[in-house]
Structure 1
Amino acid sequence: MRYIIGYAPNKHGEEAVALASALASTQDAELRIVHVLDKPAPADAAFVEQRAVQETRAAWAGERLAEALLRVGDGVRASTDVVYADSVAEGLIDAARDGDAALIVVSAARNGPLKRFTIGSVANALLHASPFPVALVPAGYERPANITRMTAAIGSRQGAEALLEVAVQAAARRQVPLRLLSLIALDFDEATDHEFALKAARAHARIVLDEAVATAGTSTEVTAEVAEGSTIETAVESLRWKVGEVVVIGSSRLAEHRKIFMGNTANKLLRALPVPLIVVPRAVSDESAEAESPSLSV
């Protein structure tokens, strides 16, 4: 298993290395730390001066990547690479495809509040185009001693089964518990019978979670929890989070097959989370398309 890290020589790049190291440490995954430069590669330069500039930039990137290797956790295998592309997101997706990667890890933080997400341009582009799962790191993230728990936000729409399978496997491989989570926003309009609507929402969430627990089997310890609040954000904030916890969610139903697209609920959840988030692409139902797509595992 291989993880691609989108690296920049700053604190956000260091946070991405920290999360990737934590995710990889218990399952013998290999890290490939990638820095993306604008095209062309030096060998493809149109003239001598352009080649000299690109060689200088490549040398600088190589030095920064060597520094990044020093931040990889003990016992984790890692390599580095300079990739040339029209955009950082394109370069990371190409690197993941070429390296048969399971996950792309990037920092989502762009001068946001501590332990929160403020989506930058690279993360945003990946969340609209990546056929690979994408792990997002919040601002101020520090590598924990271990991954302690996986939490999967499970909905009732098509594709929840695929997300559940990915989450169960991720927790089982790391030998950590899995928490299945359903979020209820109580932002009803004035015409709504609040008590009736709340009971119905709770009952529906419990049915979904009970079915998910039964489907998960016995490969890892599984619990279920319903969180509610006046909004999705307050529902998330009402939860207790462990150091070393990671959340897994599925892509919106509006996404193309095996592509990521963040829906409204996921974006609200993202703004409130204090822990890393992995977004899993929408599953493919067509077998011929699935055969040409990357496998989903994190």
Structure 2
Amino acid sequence: MRYVVGITLDRRDRDAVSLALTLARSVVAPHSVAIELVHVIRGPQPDHAQSAQEREFQQLRKDSALEGLAKVSDLIPKSIRSTVTVHFAESMAEGLLEIASTGPCDLIIVGAASRGPFRRFTVGSVANALLHSASVPVALAPSGYLPPSRLTRLTCAMGTRVGADAVLDVSISSSVRHDVPLRLISLIGLDSSPNTPDGRSPADHARALLLSASQQVDDAVEVMVDVAHGRSVDSAVERLSWDDSEIVIIGSSRLAQPKSLFLGATANKMLRSLPVPMVVVPRYPAPDIAPDKDLSV
């Protein structure tokens, strides 16, 4: 597995690296995980600069970034494989996507915007761009994230629209890969649709997915379901219990192009109240179309 971690050389780095470490330590085979710390510098590479002055300036920025990355790298224990990369691109998001596309990538991880409240999300420009264009899952670490020794639960926020089952498949694979219980949640707010497109209530939809998930994991991990009610989606989130050592996986909006991300309205509402990391997965092909690899985070 390969995690690409966006490093901005500010306080967000500890949050992002902490989440990467939590996930890496929790994988059944930690030696299979590689963490790549990536810092992006705007502008051309030194060798492609238009003038000697620009070349010198870009080289100074690269040298400074490498020094900063070395310090961040010290946060990662030697038992986990890690590398550092300085990349030149027009933006941080573009650079991370370019690095992710250079080989198999299971997850891009970034921290919440530095102005965000403690242990909550404020989606900055980098995360926003990734959440509306990435072709691989993107994980957001809340501000002030304190890493547990390992994950203890994985929560899948289930939608009710056609195609929402795809996120369930990713969640099932991930819970087995990390050997943690899987909780399925259905959020029912007064600002959300009361029924699924086929006429079932969210509670009935949740029970149907619980049965499907239980059959797929074949007793490999525990599966449970919670249905939360509230005046809104974010108030429903606040009614649920949350472990400090869990993450939430949610699917992309139906507006997303196939195999790409687009953060939907429900996920945006969840971010306002969610106290744990969130992973947004792309809109993969419909369940009857086999994906090109084992999808998990």
TM-score under structure 1 length normalisation? 0.90
C-alpha deviation, 1:289, in angstroms:
11
C-alpha deviation, 1:219, in angstroms:
2.6
Give, in whole Å, the separation in 1 of the partners of 2:71 and 2:111. Answer: 18
Q: Return the letter of the residue paired with 1:219.
A: A
Distance 1:158 1:288, change over 3 A: closer
Deviations 1:222-241 (A, max 9, x none): 11111111111111001111
Q: How does 1:113-262 map to 2 (within 5 A)?
A: 113-187=117-191, 200-262=201-263
Distance 1:278 1:223, change over 3 A: same
Give, in whole Å, the separation in 1 of the partners of 2:290 and 2:90. Answer: 26
Residue 26 in 1 paired to residue 30 in 2? Answer: no
In structure 1, the residue matched to 2:197 is none
Deviations 1:53-86 (A, max 9, x none): 0000000000000001011145211110001111
CA contact (8 A) 1:25 1:75 kept: no
In structure 2, the residue matched to 1:103 is 107
C-alpha deviation, 1:290, in angstroms:
6.2
Give, in whole Å, the separation in 2 of the partners of 1:162 and 1:200. Answer: 19
CA contact (8 A) 2:93 2:130 kept: yes
C-alpha deviation, 1:104, in angstroms:
0.1
C-alpha deviation, 1:295, in angstroms:
6.3
Q: Secondary structure at the match of 1:163?
A: helix
Give, in whole Å, the separation in 2 of the partners of 1:122 and 1:278. Answer: 15
CA contact (8 A) 1:110 1:119 kept: no
Distance 1:288 1:265, change over 3 A: closer
Worse-superposed segment, 206-215 or 84-93: 206-215
Distance 1:286 1:44, change over 3 A: farther
Give, in whole Å, the separation in 2 of the partners of 1:296 and 1:37. Answer: 30
Give, in whole Å, the separation in 2 of the partners of 1:266 and 1:48. Answer: 47
Give, in whole Å, the separation in 1 of the partners of 2:23 and 2:192. Answer: 39
C-alpha deviation, 1:109, in angstroms:
2.9
Q: Return the letter of the residue paired with 2:113.
A: A
Q: Return the letter of the residue paired with 2:123.
A: I
Q: Secondary structure at the match of 2:17?
A: helix
In structure 1, the residue matched to 2:296 is 297
Give, in whole Å, the separation in 2 of the partners of 1:18 and 1:188. Answer: 33
Distance 1:221 1:295, change over 3 A: closer
In structure 1, the residue matched to 2:86 is 82
CA contact (8 A) 2:166 2:286 kept: no
Distance 1:285 1:185, change over 3 A: closer
Distance 1:43 1:287, change over 3 A: farther
C-alpha deviation, 1:162, in angstroms:
2.0
Give, in whole Å, the separation in 1 of the partners of 2:246 and 2:11. Answer: 21
Aligned residues: 288
Distance 1:51 1:264, change over 3 A: same
Q: Return the letter of the residue paired with 1:90.
A: E
Give, in whole Å, the separation in 2 of the partners of 1:103 and 1:32. Answer: 11
Give, in whole Å, the separation in 2 of the partners of 1:41 and 1:171. Answer: 41
TM-score under structure 2 length normalisation? 0.90
Give, in whole Å, the separation in 2 of the partners of 1:111 and 1:253. Answer: 30
In structure 2, the residue matched to 1:14 is 14
Give, in whole Å, the separation in 2 of the partners of 1:235 and 1:74. Answer: 41
CA contact (8 A) 1:18 1:73 kept: no
The percentage of counterpart residues that share the same residue type is: 44
CA contact (8 A) 2:206 2:225 kept: no
C-alpha deviation, 1:156, in angstroms:
2.5
Give, in whole Å, the separation in 2 of the partners of 1:65 and 1:264. Answer: 35
Q: Name stretches of at least 5 consecutive residues in structure 1 with no aligned partner.
A: 193-198
Root mean square deviation of aligned Cα? 2.4
CA contact (8 A) 1:7 1:35 kept: yes
In structure 1, the residue matched to 2:4 is 4
Residue 65 in 1 paired to residue 65 in 2? Answer: no
Q: Return the letter of the residue paired with 1:239.
A: L
CA contact (8 A) 1:2 1:103 kept: yes
Give, in whole Å, the separation in 1 of the partners of 2:291 and 2:207. Answer: 31
